[in-house]
Amino acid sequence: MRKKLAGLFILVLLALVGLTLRITYINAKSGDKYKKQVLIQSQQQYDSRTIPFKRGDITDRNGTVLATSSKVYNVILDCKVVNSNKDYVEPTVKALTEQLGLDEDTIRGLLTNEQTKNSQYQILKKEISMDEKKAFEAYTAVPEDSKLSEEERLEKKNVQGVWFEEDYLRKYPMNALACDTLGFTFAGNVADWGIEGYYNSTLNGVDGRKYGYFNQDSDLEQTIIDPVNGNSVVSTLDVNIQQVIEKYISAFDTAMSKENFKKEDKKEDEEEDSSKAKKITKGAANIGVIVANPNTGEILGMASSDPYDLNNPRDLTGIYTEEEIKRMNDESQLDALNAMWQNYCVTEAYEPGSTVKPVIVASALEAGAITENDTFVCDGGQQVADRFIKCSIYPDAHGTQSLGEVIQNSCNDGLMAIGKKMGAETFLRYQKTFNFGSRTGIDLPGEGTGILHTKDTLNAVELATSSFGQGFTCTMVQELAALSSVINGGTYYQPHVVNRIVDDKGKTVKTIEPTVLKQTISPDISAEIRDYMGMSVKSGTSKTSKVQGYSMGGKTGTAQKIPRGSGKYLVSFIGFAPLDDPQVVIYVVVDEPNAERQDNSKYPQYIAQAVLSEILPYMDIFPDEDTSQATVLWEGFTGVKKQNDVGAEDQEEDDGDAQESDISGDGIEDENVPDPPENQESEDEVEPNNQESDGITNEEAGLSE
């Protein structure tokens, strides 16, 4: 027995020696050949493979995530590996079709097509989730303690040539909220609109690399360069304020469209063509709202009508009917998308109307052209050069008024007299002082500039009409920044939508402090203007904006659109609270309200009052007036649920029968108002407004001292 065991041991030993000698011989003769074959197969997944960076998040001021990037995977097929063994084909095709839902014909086509059968990189599916990836890997895995049959084990092992490429998918958890301000990314990590576009380079990082190579000894070396993730942006927006703004824009839009439908149904058949039906469902051509801190330039909320889903930004069905979309060619569809994506509050320039009157009066006081004790006589209008320009209440008249009453009553006749006392040169100088005609430098792309008269074009008639906000154009953010300066003591802050930049560990990289650009007026004049605007809310054209318990200032605007006399108006309201120490300013524009009479300055006041009634308590701004009255919102907002409003669901539902109030405006129906000057600068000549350029330099914007 011992001899047999010894003999067996010697045989095994000899076999091992023989095997070692054989391996040594093969390695010496053909080792490099086989080694390279193995290394090439191992290397196929790592050669020049990109490891993508994670784009930074965008949050509101309280940390609520508004935009983020989630890891996803692209399914990659290595056709060369699958075709290297016929036993690999069927198990691989079966796994891909059953586990990932891929089309079998597509896979087989890639494996047999002459152009792709030897390809090592074919994308089968993009952006699958981690759960889908793990499910596929679990299907192909063969655990040691598995009870699978040998045939099943072999089938799983033969699933070859499939691997997963990491990527990130941009997601917007709150869908359409703040869409105009946030913007979105196109394919990859490229963006043109909103914060995403302006801070594109900050949000983006640097891709890493993972690749293999042969060293001088023909050994495989693997090098990994980790990606550098992008920084995150903490915006000045407050989600709760933003939600309130958008809620009341939507409610106003709905109420006004319902009212119009009711009127139209009496006149025309319900089954009129869909394009007109779609058109009259809008409560206005556009509605814009900005809420800001006048003491810092921080934008707390910004929105316009026609919102779109940031997760599906090319969906036009919320604005156009299917028939209208089908009729669009590529060019018209692109135009429609760009119109939907642009930020109305920053881009669109319009004649502001009487909301600029406090700025004009402040300018005249600062220039010494008038004093606080001056009075002005309104007799219904003024004869200027060859034309008679009417006041807002013509053929009636305001009579003799103090400076405060000119603002309170929004008297165009009084403002024309003030403009005349200033003179063209001083008037233009203060327009520049308050940054009209130039970009504010807000950190958002696509900012408009508006159009002003020059010394050569600002004649007597143009000066008269410009004094009450007709004859030149501006943007919402320009008017907001200018008025904020008027009420905060005279300090002009650059408006901005971002507070901080943080890295992927949460460490602050940069803090964006409020930027003071200039002193526009004295604190004493600022206090005077606040009092005048308080008179407007207390007993003037801005009464409808009043939130009970809070001292407020405000000013309405009713601008007659071109062509004059067409009945089309842009109505607006700008207001603030509290009166003596403004903590919040709101600006509302309603462009062509959907009503028989558009020149009703109450429309924007409805929205402003509703928004302020909710955000003032939310911002811990305490009531500073004694009152036993409750704030009663516009009938069109009946049934709109307020934040933290217990029992709101029991309120009366809005039946669409929104009553139209008596016309209250401060505009004019006067063909004698001249049109604004034509823009001499084409859009192609305007530099892009982004982080790299900071939009425009302060010198170029006319903001330097």
pLDDT at position 667, please? Answer: 58
C-alpha 555: how far from chain center: 27
Phi/psi region, residue 207 (left: phi>0; alpha: psi -120 to 50; beta: rest), is beta
In a domain, 48, yes or no: no
3-class SS of residue 511:
strand
Q: Are residues 503 and 645 in the same domain?
A: yes
Q: Hey, what long-range contacts does 181-189 have (CB within 8 A, 24 or more apart)?
A: 181/235, 181/237, 181/299, 181/302, 181/303, 181/343, 181/444, 181/497, 182/58, 182/66, 182/67, 182/310, 183/310, 183/341, 183/445, 184/310, 184/313, 185/55, 189/55, 189/230
pLDDT at position 34, please? Answer: 63
Count CA atoms closer than 13 A to 592's CA, side-chain side.
Answer: 12
CA distance linking residue 99 with residue 118, whole number of Å = 24
Domain boundary among 152, 172, 192: 172
Please answer whether residues 604 and 573 qualify as being in contact, where contact means their C-beta atoms are separated by less than 8 angstroms.
yes
pLDDT at position 271, please? Answer: 44
CATH code, 95: 3.90.1310.10
For residue 71, give Cα distances in angstroms to 16, 66, 203, 204, 357: 50, 17, 16, 15, 52
Strands of 140-266 (E only): list them. Answer: 162-171, 208-214, 220-225, 232-235
Q: Which of 186, 196, 228, 242 is nearest to 57 (CA)?
A: 196
What domain range is 109 assigned to?
A: 69-172
pLDDT at position 663, please? Answer: 59
Q: Are residues 161 and 269 in the same domain?
A: no
pLDDT at position 281, please? Answer: 64
The DSSP code sequence of 121-161 is: -EEEEEEE-HHHHHHHHHHH---TT----HHHHHHHHT--S
Helix (H) or strand (E) holding 17: helix 2-43
Q: Are residues 160 and 276 in the same domain?
A: no
In a domain, 577, yes or no: yes
Please answer whether residues 75 and 123 qualify as being in contact, where contact means their C-beta atoms are separated by less than 8 angstroms.
yes
Q: What are phi and psi of 358, to 5 degrees?
A: -60, -35
In a domain, 209, yes or no: no
Q: Which residues fall within 8 angstroms of residue 342, CB to CB, at 6 or more apart?
A: 180, 193, 348, 446
Q: Are residues 259 and 351 in the same domain?
A: yes
Angle at CA 247, nearest 5°, toward 241 and 250?
140
CA distance linking residue 61 with residue 59, whole number of Å = 7
pLDDT at position 37, please? Answer: 57
Q: Which residues fall within 8 angstroms of residue 272, CB to CB, at 6 or more apart?
A: none
In a domain, 536, yes or no: yes
Q: Is the dihedral of CA 244, 249, 252, 253 positive or negative?
A: negative
Whether the bond between 674 and the residue before it is cis, its omega within 30 degrees of 0, is no
For residue 197, give Cα distances in angstroms to 11, 230, 297, 314, 585: 76, 14, 20, 17, 26
Strand 299-304 and strand 387-390: the pairing is: unpaired
Residue 686, Cβ neighbours under 10 Å: how many? 14
Q: Are residues 247 and 143 in the same domain?
A: no
Q: Are residues 367 and 442 in the same domain?
A: yes
Q: In the chain, which stretches have pLDDT less than 70?
A: 30-48, 212-221, 259-281, 644-669, 671, 679-705
For residue 236, give Cα distances in angstroms to 310, 535, 563, 622: 19, 31, 39, 22
Q: Are residues 142 and 291 in the same domain?
A: no
CA distance linking residue 487 with residue 474, whole number of Å = 19
One-letter amino acid at 693 equals S
In a domain, 177, yes or no: no
In a domain, 208, yes or no: no
Q: Which of 200, 198, 87, 99 is nearest to 140 (CA)?
A: 99
In a domain, 214, yes or no: no
For residue 646, give Cα distances in angstroms to 250, 649, 650: 21, 8, 9
pTM, full prediction: 0.85
In a domain, 502, yes or no: yes
CA distance linking residue 601 with residue 590, whole number of Å = 9
Domain boundary among 122, 152, 172: 172
CA distance linking residue 471 with residue 468, whole number of Å = 9
Domain boundary among 149, 172, 195: 172
Helix (H) or strand (E) holding 377: strand 375-378
- Residue that is written with structure tokens 């095994």 in the block: 12
Angle at CA 108, nearest 5°, toward 104 and 114?
155
Q: Are residues 162 and 270 in the same domain?
A: no
- Residue that is written with structure tokens 């009157």 in the block: 357
Q: Which residues fall within 8 angstroms of residue 104, CB to CB, at 6 or more apart?
A: 93, 97
pLDDT at position 51, please? Answer: 86
Q: Are residues 139 and 259 in the same domain?
A: no
Please answer whether residues 136 and 99 qualify as being in contact, where contact means their C-beta atoms are separated by less than 8 angstroms.
yes
Q: Are residues 545 and 648 in the same domain?
A: yes
Please answer whether residues 200 and 690 qualify as being in contact, where contact means their C-beta atoms are separated by less than 8 angstroms.
yes
CA distance linking residue 305 with residue 447, whole number of Å = 18
Q: Domains in the chain: how many in total?
A: 2
Q: Are residues 156 and 243 in the same domain?
A: no
Q: Are residues 274 and 394 in the same domain?
A: yes
CATH code, 649: 3.40.710.10
CA distance linking residue 107 with residue 79, whole number of Å = 9
